[in-house]
A and B are shown apart, each in its own frame.
Chain A
Amino acid sequence: MIRIRVQLPAHLRTLAHVAGEITVQIDGTVTQRSVLDALEVNYPTLRGTIRDHITHRRRAFVRFFACGEDLSLESPDTPLPEPVATGREPFLVVGAIAGG
């Protein structure tokens, strides 16, 4: 079991009633899908807010970052970078910047 660090945007922290960085435990390969699955099990109010309930597609204005890389367009089943999978770096869920 690996403890994965996750950082959520402010609105989702409020919704999940958490402050700061959180962790989820993953058993097996650490991917976007396994992290989000664990996140939604631990924090059911986040279901539907990061990815679609049914299709599990990432919501259009949500992006995923880790280790300085934008991973948003990666397959959800691609293993996350080793520093994330070992808990040294966080997996970032980011609300896209919009407006002007």
Chain B
Amino acid sequence: MPWRVAEKRFAFSAACPLGHHYRSLRGCEMSSVRVLVGTHKGAFVLTSDGKRDKWDVSGPHFGGWEVYHLKGSPVDPDRIYASQTTGWFGQIIQRSNDGGKSWEPVDNKFAYEGTPGTHTWYDGTPHPWEFKRVWHLEPSLKDPDVVYAGAEDAALFRSADGGKSWDELAGLREHNTGPRWQPGAGGLCLHTIILDPSDPNRIFIAISAAGAFRTTDGGKSWTPINKGLVSDFMPEPTAEIGHCVHHVAMHPSRPGVLFMQKHWDVMRSDDAGDNWHEVSGNLPSDFGFVVDIHAHHPETIYVVPIKSDSEHVPPDGKLRVYRSRTGGNEWEALTRGLPQENCYVNVLRDAMSVDTLDKCGIYFGTTGGQVYVSADEGDNWKPIVQNLPAVLSVEVQTLS
């Protein structure tokens, strides 16, 4: 029987004989989870039943290659896309049709439309646009053959044939601010792609260090959505573009509400990015990379504070996830099961994810090679694996 994504409850709630609220009765059946982990030296697939207590680990897939990101199709979870890259041999896109058991390379030609021109280099000089790698793959919410790819140097590509060919949505890179975009420390990377489930023409993306952008016409034209962001490292801290946005998250039930972990500052928008305000509140540091949202409570959000942009380690050597149940500003440290001394790992921007089981599971991976799970919304944590290569990305599939 093929796996199916456990349906999310925010849409069509129905009573369950066990007293829970599920989208359908099928949601009450025993579910399982599959965690897709991209690392500096290959990909790993971690699987467990709904208890999330005992885990099977497969991998490394594509051993020795950097796997920046893997993600499964929401409509066909056995269809998984993976971005495999090295400095030696460039970019490969892999596709699985059986849940990660086997893989086939698909097209790896990411060609910018037209003559790409220049963006701005670190030293302020014009620099040619050059494709380096794919940071993020975002499968369509409707069609398993449609997938978006976020690239370095910043550009958005789309495939409508399961990765067999790629076309650039060039309106983004050709935005009139494009020549002024500058790379962050990790490169000029398009790392976040959010598809709006309520409007197939609305997409949000984020680029380090250009900022966040939104299209409402399927990618033909784009608007910078950075009003309210303040970046003191810039000559003009509130400029339209130039902000080092690390990650953005949206709950599918509320596509107008966005949360952002900026280089410094945790931010919130209640108008689809038109305006942002800071919700860092009592965090010990508002620098960090990840931000994610509870599957069933859209005001419950998670971040992992990092000491600073010059050190990239947890404050005080304590690995703490912070949870806000109020959509920001009021945060509580979640520490049970996480190392609270001598811990100096980082948690990178795509390395946190949530499942959609009744008791929402939270997952994150570290540059020290640990992948942690909390099966109770963050209250208690334990490592699934402890000695992987540095983790670049974590995505969870909830299966039933």
CB-CB nearest in chain A for B65: A11
Question: B308 on the interface (CB 8 Å rule)?
Answer: no
Q: Are B86 and A11 in contact (CB under 8 A)?
A: yes
Question: B187 on the interface (CB 8 Å rule)?
Answer: no
Q: Are B90 and A48 in contact (CB under 8 A)?
A: yes
Q: Are B89 and A50 in contact (CB under 8 A)?
A: yes
Q: Are A61 and B87 in contact (CB under 8 A)?
A: yes
How many chain-A residues does the 8 Å CB contact rule pick out?
A: 18
> B92 — which chain A residues lie within 8 A by C-beta?
15, 45, 49
Q: Are A95 and B109 in contact (CB under 8 A)?
A: no
Nearest 6 CB-CB pairs, A to B?
A: A49-B89, A61-B88, A45-B105, A95-B88, A53-B109, A48-B108
Q: Are A12 and B89 in contact (CB under 8 A)?
A: yes
Question: B140 on the interface (CB 8 Å rule)?
Answer: no
Q: Give A52-96 interface residues, CB cut-off 8 Å to B.
A: 53-54, 59-62, 95-96
Give Cα distance in the complex from A54 to B110, angstroms.
10
Q: Are B88 and A54 in contact (CB under 8 A)?
A: no
Q: Give A8-49 interface residues, CB cut-off 8 Å to B.
A: 9, 11-12, 15, 45, 47-49
Give Cα distance in the complex from A50 to B87, angstroms.
11
Q: Are B89 and A62 in contact (CB under 8 A)?
A: yes
Contact with A along B31-70 (1 / 0, CB 8 A): 0000000000000000000000000000000001100000
Task: Give chain B nearest CB distance to A50 CB in angstroms.
Answer: 7
B contact residues vs A (CB 8 Å cutoff): 64-65, 86-92, 105, 108-109, 111
> B89 — which chain A residues lie within 8 A by C-beta?
11-12, 15, 49-50, 59, 62, 95
CB-CB nearest in chain A for B89: A49
Q: Are A48 and B64 in contact (CB under 8 A)?
A: no
Q: Are B105 and A15 in contact (CB under 8 A)?
A: yes
Task: Give chain A nearest CB distance to B259 CB in angstroms.
Answer: 36
> B90 — which chain A residues lie within 8 A by C-beta?
48-49, 59
B109: which of A9, A47, A96, A98 is its contact (CB, 8 Å)?
Answer: A47
CB-CB nearest in chain A for B109: A53
> A49 — which chain B residues lie within 8 A by C-beta?
89-90, 92, 108
The residue among A9, A53, A54, A95 with the most chain B CB atoms within 10 A of its own CB is: A53
26 A–B contacts, CB within 8 A, in A order: A9-B88, A11-B64, A11-B65, A11-B86, A15-B89, A15-B92, A15-B105, A45-B92, A48-B90, A48-B108, A48-B109, A49-B89, A49-B90, A49-B108, A53-B108, A53-B109, A53-B111, A54-B111, A59-B88, A59-B89, A59-B90, A60-B87, A61-B88, A62-B89, A96-B88, A98-B87
Give Cα distance in the complex from A9 to B86, angstroms.
13
> A45 — which chain B residues lie within 8 A by C-beta?
92, 105
Task: Give chain A nearest CB distance to B60 CB in angstroms.
Answer: 12
> A98 — which chain B residues lie within 8 A by C-beta?
87
Give Cα distance in the complex from A61 to B87, angstroms.
7
CB-CB nearest in chain A for B104: A45
Give Cα distance in the complex from A53 to B92, angstroms.
12
> A15 — which chain B residues lie within 8 A by C-beta?
89, 92, 105
CB-CB nearest in chain A for B112: A54
Give Cα distance in the complex from A24 to B349, angstroms.
43
Give Cα distance in the complex from A47 to B87, angstroms.
15
CB-CB nearest in chain A for B106: A45
Task: Give chain B nearest CB distance to A99 CB in angstroms.
Answer: 11
CB-CB nearest in chain B for A93: B89
Task: Give chain B nearest CB distance to A79 CB in angstroms.
Answer: 26
Known contacts A11-B64, A11-B86, A53-B111, A48 near B91 by CB under 8 Å: yes
Task: Give chain B nearest CB distance to A72 CB in angstroms.
Answer: 13
Give Cα distance in the complex from A60 to B130, angstroms.
13
Give Cα distance in the complex from A9 to B111, angstroms.
26
CB-CB nearest in chain B for A10: B64
Give Cα distance in the complex from A95 to B65, angstroms.
13
Beyond A11-B88, A53-B109, 12 additional pairs, beta carbon < 8 A: A11-B89, A15-B89, A45-B105, A47-B108, A49-B90, A53-B108, A59-B90, A60-B87, A61-B87, A61-B88, A62-B88, A62-B89
Task: Give chain A nearest CB distance to B154 CB in angstroms.
Answer: 18
Task: Give chain A nearest CB distance to B93 CB in angstroms.
Answer: 10
> A48 — which chain B residues lie within 8 A by C-beta?
90-91, 108-109
